[in-house]
Chain A
Amino acid sequence: MSAIVAAPLLVALAGAIGCLLLRSRPRLLRGVSLLAGVGYLLATVALARAVYADGDAILVYYLSGWQAPYGITLVADRLSVIFIGLTAIVSLAALWVSIKTIDASGQRISYHALYQFMVVGITGSFLTADIFNLFVWFEVMLMASYVLVVFHSGPEQTRAGMQYVVLNLLGSAVMLLAIGGLYATTGTLNMADIARRLAEPAAYGIAPGPVLGLTGLLLCVFALKAGLVPFQFWVPGAYQAAPPPVTAMLAGVVKKVGIYAIIRLYFSVFAVASIPDAGGLAVVAGKPFLVVFGGVILVMALLSILLGGIGAAGRNNLDALLAYSSISQVGFIVLPLAVAATTLPGDSLFRAGVLATIVYAIIHGFAKGVLFLVSGAIEDHVGTLEFSQLGGISEQAPVLSGAFFVGGLTLIGIPPLFGFFGKLLVFKVGVDAQNTIGWIAVGATLIGAILTITYVTRAWERAFWGPPNEFVEELTASPSVVAVIAGLAIIIIALGIGFQPVYELANGATSAVIDTDAYVRAVLGPESAHAIGGGLR
């Protein structure tokens, strides 16, 4: 039990409160916000060191000293840490850009406090080991993001914000319903306890049928947060309406909370459960839950890749193009999960699938962070992102364009950039599967990759090449903003060239996902998990 688990959460929370209290002192306010961002990064580094100190530690923290499963438990394992690390880097970069580009009175009124609260919500979601608490952190994150999306409060923003708020409120209501139902059927809210009970449903008097239905309902909510088709409606509007650094956070990090929840819950906690023999569906009887979820995720991933890709290729606005691209890329992120779901957690294909998803999620976080920050810098100075008004940016702002180029190429997957390895792993999972679903995945990935090349090329050609027009000649972004964006781009290049450590980290995270047994033992105590060990694998 170590307090370091709560450190990133508490740093962000303290930052949020500091920003609330210091609103009348603008300089101090910005300083505190920045300090919180840097502190968050340091706390994350300390947490990562603690987790990796013994190689594969699962750090458990019982809030107020209430033992699991009765109290709220925070857990930092290798999976949470890798996502918190992504949050720390992208949020710090976006924070700096916010300080430089958001108008001063907006920063004073509420921006920094809301931004920090959003980071609090994201961190809490990555750390919690309690599904009701997960709901609470989702709400903290969403409440802050609602206001941030409509921050410019023009008619366009209000319309998009309305859509975003209504859809997400609906999602939250459904999430609460599903969690309430899970509590009623399994008798617990602690993730480890749920896993323990679902591994031996008869011993705890649990009917797996209703649990399957309720977890399916919950999956819809996570798909909504991740912006997967058919729950993607809010994405383009919200991304165009939000201030650019917020969009970078929404696309880069907030979406990953949905991905994280899917990995954590469906590929670790609920993965131990099997569908009961009773009932009409003899095909899936006795199979693990994942068979059903895999099918659902596959359909959502395929539709996302195609609809997002085609949508992006047809946009005439850089932000809209990137928003649709984001839908498509999230499809790429979850596609390997669908392939992994065809096997059992012990299988090597399962490991490869989860690994590919984690790697791709990290890549997407960085790439979309860079791309949206570049588009934000362009919009701030040129005043529009319509392709008809743009052109020749590469001549006017070579460094920004270089960063966009790197971000775009990493989405396409050109070696030696980070994105290449993501695409490689996704393809490899499909090919290694050697079954129909695998080949479907490979086909979708190919089409998706071609669409990605199409829209990235289009964005590059329409906005960045050619002679600069009179609007673009206004483009003189602040050097520190350019430096931060370039820094993120350099991280993408560096992570691609030095991919081995990233692979090791993601591999460790994958082990943490697969070893539900260790997770349960760490949270509930050493003798609690024999059921799972003897059960599925």
Chain B
Amino acid sequence: MSSSNQTTVIVRTVVRSVVPIIILVAIGLLLQGHNFPGGGFIGGVLTVTAFALVYITYGAEYLSQYLLGLTDGSVARRETQDVLDPDTAFFSGTVGRYSAVFGIGLALAVGGGLGAVAFGEPFLSQAVLYFDHIPVFGVIELASALVFDLGVYFVVVGSLLTILAVVGNE
């Protein structure tokens, strides 16, 4: 990448400080989603926004290899196979990893619903546990709906990252 293509110092500095805040807000929205504004979908979209910022300012390699740690030697192998077999790139490359995330998210959401069936309740039934007298927090509310929200979160993150990676590669 030549220096003329590189993003400015201003953008890089702003992104560096903004991304953690976005992620924090996203997680906050995810955790409170079951009874306040927020939830898995909006949390996921915000998270991907943070990733997209990194992607635009630092590039796809930085995002997938340094930030998400998707480098374990398989990437290097992939580079050579890419030319021969596009399918391999789709399954074992970055796109494959991203798209596995939404499968896992879906499994989590449905699994959370099936958990209720295991307790003899209807599919997707939810319950809440309250923990009183916790220092600093006071009352902590643990809702089973969080599992579903988490599933939605991963579906959104996984699918948007897949789209980002596929379209970015075009």
Q: A residues touching B (Cβ–Cβ < 8 Å)? A: 1, 3, 6, 10, 13-14, 16-17, 20-21, 23-24, 61-65, 105, 108-109
Name which of A14, A17, A65, A109 has the most chain B CB atoms within 10 A of its CB.
Answer: A17
Contact of B96 with A17 in the complex, beta carbons under 8 Å: no
Main SS class of interface, A:
helix
Closest chain-B Cβ to A13's Cβ sits at a distance in Å of 6
Interface string of B8-29 (1 = CB under 8 A from A): 0000000000000000000000
Complex contact A17–B110 (CB within 8 A): yes
In the complex formed, the residue of B with least CB distance to A61 is B122
- Out of B91, B102, B103, B110, name the residue touching A14 (CB < 8 Å): B110
Question: Closest B-chain residue to A2, C-beta based?
Answer: B122
> Closest B-chain residue to A25, C-beta based?
B91
Stretch with Cβ within 8 A of A (4 or more), from B34-42, B47-55, B123-131, B133-141 = B123-131
- Beta-carbon contact of B122 and A21 below 8 Å: no
With known contacts A63-B123, A109-B87, A21–B117 Cβ distance under 8 A: no
Query: How many angstroms between the C-alpha atoms of A23 and B98 in the bound complex?
Result: 13
A21 touches B103 (CB 8 A): yes
Q: Give chain A residues whose Cβ lies under 8 Å from the Cβ of B96.
A: 23-24
Q: Give the nearest-CB partner of A105 in chain B.
A: B87
* B124 surroundings in chain A (CB, below 8 A): 63-64
Give the CA-CA distance A109 to B86 in the complex, in Å: 11
Of all chain A residues, which has the CB nearest B109? A17
Distance A109 CA – B91 CA, assembled complex (angstroms): 8
Q: Which residue of A lies closest to B126 (CB)?
A: A64
* 8 A Cβ contacts from B122-165 to A: 122-126
Chain B nearest CB: distance from A139 CB in Å? 15
- The distance from the CB of A64 to the nearest CB of chain B, in whole angstroms, is 4
Q: How many A-B residue pairs have CB under 8 A?
A: 49
B110 to chain A, nearest CB (A): 6
Asked if B121 lies at the interface with its beta carbon under 8 angstroms from chain A, I say yes
Cα–Cα distance between A330 and B50 once the two chains are bound (Å): 51
Considering only residues 52-106 of chain B, those with a C-beta below 8 Å from chain A are 87, 90-92, 96, 99-100, 102-104, 106
Complex contact B106–A17 (CB within 8 A): yes
Q: Is the pair B122, A23 in contact by a Cβ cutoff of 8 Å? A: no
A17 to B121, CA, bound (A): 22
Whether A21 pairs with B110 at a CB distance below 8 angstroms is no
A65, B125: Cβ atoms under 8 Å? yes
> Residues of B contacting A1 with CB < 8 Å?
122
A109-B114 Cα distance, complex, nearest whole Å: 27
Contacts of A20 in B (CB 8 A): 102-103, 106
Residues of B within 8 A of A3 (CB): 117, 122-123
Residue B45 CB within 8 A of the other chain: no
Q: Which of A1, A23, A61, A108 gathers most chain B CB within 10 Å?
A: A23
Which residues in B have their C-beta under 8 angstroms from that of A23? Answer: 91, 96, 99, 103
Q: Indicate if the CB atoms of B122 and A64 lie closer than 8 Å.
A: yes
A16 to B90, CA, bound (A): 19
Bound Cα distance from A23 to B121, whole angstroms? 32
Enumerate 20 A-B pairs (CB-CB under 8 Å) in ascending A order.
A3-B117, A3-B122, A6-B123, A10-B110, A13-B110, A17-B103, A17-B106, A21-B103, A21-B107, A23-B91, A23-B96, A23-B99, A63-B122, A63-B124, A64-B116, A64-B126, A65-B125, A105-B87, A108-B87, A108-B91
Q: Given A20-B106, A64-B116, 6 other A-B contacts at CB below 8 A?
A: A3-B123, A10-B110, A20-B102, A24-B91, A24-B96, A62-B122
Max chain A C-beta neighbours (<10 A), residue from B102, B116, B121, B123: B123
Residues of A contacting B91 with CB < 8 Å?
23-24, 108
Q: Which residues of B lie under 8 Å from residue A108 when comparing CB positions?
A: 87, 91
Q: Report chain A residues within 8 Å CB of B103.
A: 17, 20-21, 23
Expressed in whole angstroms, the Cα–Cα distance for A10 and B110 within the complex equals 9
Which residues of chain A are within 8 angstroms of B126 by Cβ–Cβ distance?
Answer: 64
B50 to A: closest C-beta gap in Å: 25
B96 → chain A closest CB, angstroms: 7
Nearest CB in chain A: distance from B84 CB, A: 13
**Structural contact, B100 and A21, CB atoms closer than 8 A:** yes
**Closest 8 pairs between A and B when the two form their complex, measured CB to CB:** A20-B103, A64-B124, A21-B103, A24-B91, A65-B125, A65-B122, A17-B107, A105-B87
Asked if residues B123 and A24 are in contact (CB atoms below 8 Å), the reply is no
Q: For residue B92, which residues in chain A have a CB less than 8 angstroms away from its CB?
A: 24
Give the docked Cα–Cα distance between A345 and B149 (Å): 45
Chain A: minimal CB distance from B156 (Å)? 15
**A7, chain B: closest CB distance, angstroms:** 10
> Which B residue's beta carbon lies closest to that of A23?
B91
Task: For residue B34, give the distance in angstroms from its CB to the closest CB of chain A.
Answer: 12
Closest chain-A Cβ to B122's Cβ sits at a distance in Å of 5
Closest Cβ of chain B: how far from A17's Cβ, in Å? 5
A24 to B89, CA, bound (A): 11
CA distance A6 to B104 in the complex (A): 22
